[in-house]
Amino acid sequence: MKFFLDTANIVEIKEILPVGIVAGVTTNPSLIAKEKQDIKAVIKEIASLTPGPVSAEVISTKFEEMLPEARDLAKLGDNVVIKVPITIDGLKTVSALAAEGIKTNVTLIFSANQALLAARAGAAFVSPFVGRLDDISQDGIGLIKDIADIFAIHGIEAEIIAASIRHPLHVTQAALAGAHIATVPAKVLVSLLNHPLTDAGIERFLADWQKANM
Ligand code: E4P
């Protein structure tokens, strides 16, 4: 399973990219709004910094507006992937963009059937939201597993992005359930490094080294 960074914050992206663990970035309208900057400027900068795919989401809800908006966003970088919600208009847009060679990430997936439809419309990525399902007492990780099983049975190549990841356990469970990618907020990604025995181990090695070299 690969890691994408779930943020529109340039400082976070610049801090974490050199660690060498991030293969792409996902944004959404809420994350862009937090930055209080023009969406095109933000996406262009993120796309120039990031070696892998960068998801930029459309705001329009009707196919007639969604398609030109998506085409405009796609011009911001060769690695820009258009994030589209799972609606009829969204799928029409996905299908039209696929015919033009523009990659899409179908978002707000909450059922296996939605993921299957998105893949059949030509999505390169599908984004099931784990945390938001858990929030309403439904099984977010179970959904990842169902989608991974269905895609494997039917030889579907769309990549599953486990989204709405809230804590380290979600990451491990998403990897075990067969997600190809987890898109993770910076705080959660960094917290994956933490283990008290690692800290204690470093402390003990340094103390022993200092004792022997006094
Ligand atoms: C990513 O594609 C999603 O937009 C994001 O993971 C949603 O996360 P949230 O449910 O924490 O807002």
SS3 state of residue 187 = helix
pLDDT digits (tens, 9 = 90+) for 188-205: 999 999 999 999 999 999
pLDDT digits (tens, 9 = 90+) for 22-53: 999 999 999 999 999 999 999 999 999 999 99
Looking at residue 11, its pLDDT comes to 97
Catalytic residues: 83
Q: Whose CA is nearest to atom 4 of ligand 1?
A: 28
In the predicted model, is pLDDT for residue 74 greater than 90?
yes
CATH number at residue 140: 3.20.20.70
In the predicted model, is pLDDT for residue 214 greater than 90?
no
Looking at residue 125, its pLDDT comes to 99
Q: Which amino acid belongs to residue 44?
A: K
Taking a C-beta distance cutoff of 8 angstroms, is the pair 105, 123 a contact? yes
pLDDT digits (tens, 9 = 90+) for 158-175: 999 999 999 999 999 999
Is the CB of 105 within 6 Å of ligand 1? no
Looking at residue 195, its pLDDT comes to 97
For residue 166, which atom of ligand 1 is closest to its CA?
A: 11
Is the CB of 7 within 6 Å of ligand 1? no
Taking a C-beta distance cutoff of 8 angstroms, is the pair 132, 161 a contact? no
Where b means 16+ CB within 10 Å and e means fewer, 202-212 reads eeeeeeeeeee
Is the model's pTM score more than 0.95? Answer: yes
pLDDT digits (tens, 9 = 90+) for 76-111: 999 999 999 999 999 999 999 999 999 999 999 999
For residue 26, which atom of ligand 1 is closest to its CA?
A: 2
Give the C-alpha separation, 171 to 32, whole Å: 24
Secondary structure of 101-144 in HEC code, one letter for each residue: CCCEEEEEECCHHHHHHHHHHCCCEEEEEHHHHHHCCCCHHHHH
Provide the number of structural domains found in the chain.
1
DSSP track, 14-29: HHHGGGS-EEEEE--H
- The whole domain housing 115 covers 2-212
For 120, counting Cβ atoms within 10 Å of its Cβ (0-12 exposed, 13-18 middle, 19+ buried), the class is middle
pLDDT digits (tens, 9 = 90+) for 119-135: 999 999 999 999 999 99
| Helix (H), strand (E) counts: the chain | 11, 8
Q: Tell me how far the alpha carbon of residue 211 lies from the centroid of ligand 1, in angstroms.
A: 48
pLDDT digits (tens, 9 = 90+) for 45-73: 999 999 999 999 999 999 999 999 999 99
Give the C-alpha separation, 173 to 144, whole Å: 9
Is the CB of 178 within 6 Å of ligand 1? no
Number of other residues whose CB lies within 10 A of the CB of residue 89: 18
Q: Tell me how far the alpha carbon of residue 134 lies from the centroid of ligand 1, in angstroms.
A: 13
Can you tell me the ipTM of this complex? 0.97
1, 50, 144, 150, 187 from 174: Cα distances, Å:
8, 23, 7, 15, 17
Give the C-alpha separation, 112 to 77, whole Å: 31
Query: Phi, psi (5° rounding) for residue 60?
Result: -65, 155
Q: What is the mean pLDDT of the chain?
A: 98
